[in-house]
């Protein structure tokens, strides 16, 4: 990132070519799909996917179990495309059986959107099973794999999808600033003029990049150079399987250490993706998320607030250039911070369930 590259330099164009090819390789999509990178955070490319692929007379079904699924539905509404949602609780995975019934019942649905790892809770959705159902029912599948791509296997040769989007800065461990869409070539070829947005049009972005080998609008050259390096590191680590194994080790060490302190996870281990873990807030009156956050931040560890609609919680990430020794150091910092705060018991308050209906 400390070296300036001109956006029309031969060297920069080579970097772009490498990035686009490598992303297709990671997705097992070299022969079937094209890779379209786009400036901005992850949401920009989610929005570009919805706006560029769903026609005015299309209808999107969104599988929702958290904030990112809800965001896809919001984008769809803004673009004035018909949309419906199939929502499960934030601690329950999207269900292939319900998807199948919904697709059988509503023939107007043309596209289905799923979130691979719903980062709101950290839950792993069964993308492969959802993809098989969607393909069998002849619909088009769009995947938000933002927090999973490069860390959890998703291969176009075995899991049929028309588009998957992700960004530079999650499991691929680059710096933030670009996202990318991997779109089935035969699908994108039919999308000319579909997007109501100029800058978020994936068809135009693709065509212009194919024609000139350059970006349509000023690219974040430093971010892209760093992303190229990040992809080389992903490959030399052993690709997605090796990264997945390291993240799993981090996640198991984190969850084990936190449980030993008395914390409880929102999710049972079987539903947990090795990306980010949601812990329930302790009931101890000495607990305060802000004090915990600040105590850890000044020891060099940054965590996340909770993002759930109903349960009080906070989150800790397992991804990035971290291994189990970093997790052990984070756990030591947490023990120290809890004792500074005077928190003695990390057990959460019991979950408030709605009163059972009086079924007579």
Ligand X SMILES: *Cc1c(COP(=O)(O)O)cnc(C)c1O
Measured CA to CA, the distance from residue 112 to residue 69 in angstroms comes to 11
Q: List residues near ligand X by CB under 6 A.
A: 41-43, 46, 68, 115, 119, 144, 146-147, 167
| Three-state secondary structure call for residue 202 | helix
- The answer to whether 146 touches 165, Cβ cutoff 8 Å, is yes
Minimum distance between the CB of residue 176 and ligand X, rounded to whole angstroms? 7
| Three-state secondary structure call for residue 161 | coil
Closest to ligand X by CB, 13 vs 123, is: 123
Comparing every residue's Cβ against ligand X, the nearest one is 42
Closest to ligand X by CB, 119 vs 221, is: 119
118: its two tokens: 């719903």
Measured CA to CA, the distance from residue 184 to residue 164 in angstroms comes to 9
Minimum distance between the CB of residue 205 and ligand X, rounded to whole angstroms? 17
Closest to ligand X by CB, 111 vs 284, is: 111
Minimum distance between the CB of residue 73 and ligand X, rounded to whole angstroms? 13
User: Strand locations in 79-153, DSSP E?
Assistant: 82-87, 111-115, 117-118, 123-124, 140-144
Closest to ligand X by CB, 319 vs 346, is: 319
Of 83, 275, 101, 254, nearest to 172 by C-alpha is 275
Minimum distance between the CB of residue 302 and ligand X, rounded to whole angstroms? 15
Minimum distance between the CB of residue 256 and ligand X, rounded to whole angstroms? 24
Minimum distance between the CB of residue 70 and ligand X, rounded to whole angstroms? 11
Minimum distance between the CB of residue 339 and ligand X, rounded to whole angstroms? 33
Name the helix (H) or strand (E) containing 49: helix 42-53
Q: Write the DSSP symbol of residue 270.
A: G
Minimum distance between the CB of residue 144 and ligand X, rounded to whole angstroms? 5
| Three-state secondary structure call for residue 112 | strand
Measured CA to CA, the distance from residue 85 to residue 17 in angstroms comes to 37
Measured CA to CA, the distance from residue 66 to residue 63 in angstroms comes to 9
Q: Write the DSSP symbol of residue 119.
A: T
340: its two tokens: 């500074």
Closest to ligand X by CB, 115 vs 181, is: 115
Closest to ligand X by CB, 142 vs 346, is: 142
What is the chain's percent helix, strand, coil content, to nearest 5?
40, 15, 40
Cβ neighbours for 31, distance < 8 A, ≥ 6 positions apart: none
- The answer to whether 143 touches 116, Cβ cutoff 8 Å, is yes
Closest to ligand X by CB, 122 vs 257, is: 122
Minimum distance between the CB of residue 185 and ligand X, rounded to whole angstroms? 24
Q: Across the strands, what pairs with 169?
A: none
Closest to ligand X by CB, 115 vs 318, is: 115
| Three-state secondary structure call for residue 219 | coil
């Amino acid at each position: 990132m400390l070296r300036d590259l001109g956006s029309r330099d031969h060297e920069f164009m080579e970097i772009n070519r490498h990035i686009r090819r490598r992303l297709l390789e990671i997705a097992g999509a070299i022969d079937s799909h094209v890779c379209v990178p786009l400036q901005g955070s992850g949401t920009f490319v989610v929005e570009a996917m919805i706006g560029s692929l769903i026609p005015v007379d299309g209808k999107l079904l969104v599988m929702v179990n958290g904030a990112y699924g809800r965001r896809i539905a919001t984008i769809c509404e803004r673009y004035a495309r018909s949309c419906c949602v199939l929502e499960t609780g934030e601690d329950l995975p999207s269900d292939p059986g319900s998807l199948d019934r919904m697709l059988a019942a509503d023939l107007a649905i043309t596209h289905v959107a799923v979130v691979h790892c719903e980062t709101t809770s950290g839950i792993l959705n069964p993308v492969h099973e959802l993809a098989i159902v969607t393909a069998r029912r002849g619909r088009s599948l769009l995947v938000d794999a933002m927090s999973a791509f490069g860390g959890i296997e998703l291969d176009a040769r075995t899991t049929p999808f028309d588009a998957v989007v992700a960004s530079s800065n999650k499991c691929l461990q680059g710096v933030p600033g670009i996202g990318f869409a991997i779109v089935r070539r035969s699908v994108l070829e039919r999308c000319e003029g579909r997007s109501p947005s100029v800058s978020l049009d994936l068809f135009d972005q693709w065509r212009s990049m194919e024609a000139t080998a350059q970006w349509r609008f000023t690219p974040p050259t430093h971010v892209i150079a760093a992303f190229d390096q990040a992809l080389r590191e992903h490959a030399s680590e052993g690709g997605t399987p090796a990264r997945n194994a390291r993240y799993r080790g981090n996640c198991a060490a984190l969850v084990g250490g936190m449980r030993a302190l008395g914390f409880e996870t929102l999710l049972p281990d079987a539903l947990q993706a090795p990306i980010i873990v949601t812990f329930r807030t302790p009931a101890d009156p000495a607990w305060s998320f802000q004090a915990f956050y600040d105590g850890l931040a000044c020891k060099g560890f940054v965590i996340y607030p909770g993002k759930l609609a109903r349960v009080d919680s906070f989150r800790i990430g397992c991804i990035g250039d971290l291994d189990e020794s970093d997790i052990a150091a984070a756990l030591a910092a947490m023990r120290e911070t809890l004792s500074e705060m005077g928190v003695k018991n990390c057990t959460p308050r019991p979950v408030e369930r709605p009163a059972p209906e009086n079924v007579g």
